[in-house]
Structure 1
Amino acid sequence: MQKIDSHQHYWRFEPAAFPWISPGMAVLAQDRSPSDCPMHRSGVTGSIAVQARTEAAETDFLLDLAAHNPSILGIVGWADLASPVLEAQLDGWAQQPKLRGFRHILQDEPDVAQVVNNPLFRRGVALLQSKELSYDVLVFAHQMPLVIDFCATHDAHWLVLDHLGKPPLKNPEYMPQWTQSLKTLAALPHVVCKLSGLVTEAAWPFANVADGLPTAVQQTVWDCFDTALEAFGPARLLFGSDWPVCELAAPYPAVHQLAQTWAARRLSDSEQTAFWSGNAIRCYNLNLK
């Protein structure tokens, strides 16, 4: 079975460019490249590289990496989507087949509603969709209600919810609100969901994680996966590791095994094929030839 990791990050580390990497995140405060990722040991052969810097140079950096690393099947870049020169930028990248979408780090915005309700930003996302480019939605659980109207309005192409909307695993009293927001977004047929990023939403670090994640943590993550499966169905779920960010809490093999065990228990053979590769190929329009 082909396996595609729909969410990885690569960078040349410069503190000023990565303000979200705090002093306590030494494992991330270094260069991270495709050759550093151990995904092949888990049978994962391809990935989608997702922006990690809010800088104009980010998209070209990722495209250059993709040109020299066949395992990168597509990239989700960054651009100022409210810029009056966005269309010219997109035209400049028109001959880059591995450019498959864009993302903005909405979760770090002090006013998410102000960003997504900006007519210029919405015009930019509509332009992306007219060119069959996806948009990844990155928000915390408490911000999900702020993007529902935005997601409902932009229905001309796929929107991708990163990390299940970051369920509040450290504050379980807020989980019902997350569940409701997830179901509301899942009711939009053009929204898909990445089963990614949850090990860093749980309370970590964990003891002896090399021997496997604690049983309680595994079950909590699987419960979230089950909620997403019920809401989105197997045709709109994608596997993602969120490497190397996941290494704050767990190594790549543990994250992969978490998804592997769940998928084997919950999905049929054809549904597993969709989860591991088919859905990513369809939603990001990957050309694997």
Structure 2
Amino acid sequence: MSIDLETLFTAFNATVGKPAMTDAGFGDTFRQMMTALVRFDYVVVFAYRAKERPIDLYSTFDRDENIVFVTLYQAGPYLLDPFYHTARERREGVFRMRELAPDRFFSSEYYRTYYVQTGLAEEIGFFVPIEGDITVVLSLMRREQTGPFPPAEFTTLKKVEPLVVSMVKHYWSGLTPRFNARFVARGKSRRKSEVMPRADTVWHDLNLTGRETAIVELVLQGHSSESIGLKLNISTGTVKVHRRNVYRKLGISSQTQLLSLYLKNLS
């Protein structure tokens, strides 16, 4: 599509002389900028820190869509999301979901039971690390009916990345108090190690070893046995032995049951 300069300049004008903007104000400005450059169906912006439930800063979903894309996501599935893991790695840039996803992501139980509910053809994210181990991810989504982003539009997004990064660091800095405030409201410690205890202890409570825990989490994220072996520097055969032992310990026989058990124990 051609660039809509009038819409783009209008979006820029909204930031002129403003030292600060609300979440909705900056989110709308970002949406308007992207509308001038590429075609998409949804925008959603999350801030991630460690294993904490991400903060939803902005989105364009209706009420029913918000349940799938935000409410259900924040309840636990985010822990298996390639975007979440990339945010935790503090990577900066513009990435397609398929660039970040593990080799078996699109056949994983997480994909089949949660991600397909979104009805997306593609998702592209601007990853912006800011202060306090926080990364802001601004996602542009296209539905199956719309189809994936064309290469030319992805190239355009890569070119505008430095501007988006600068704007995010200016208007969405200082998110640390907002993460900490959630613990004050709940009367809990602000220590990062206590932020999401169930995410850290769920497998230990199920009597899995550290190595077994690492393997089943990679399985749920969509890694094949070969990919897991490479990441953990062990043989594919050893990975398969650990997987069989895990299934035996947990009394299950499928990845469907593994994911169900994981999400159940998270809550």
The TM-score range, normalised by the shorter chain, is under 0.3
Q: Which protein is bigger by CA-based radius of gyration?
A: 2
Question: Which structure's residues are more often helix, by fraction?
Answer: 2
TM-score normalized by structure 1?
0.26
TM-score normalized by structure 2?
0.28
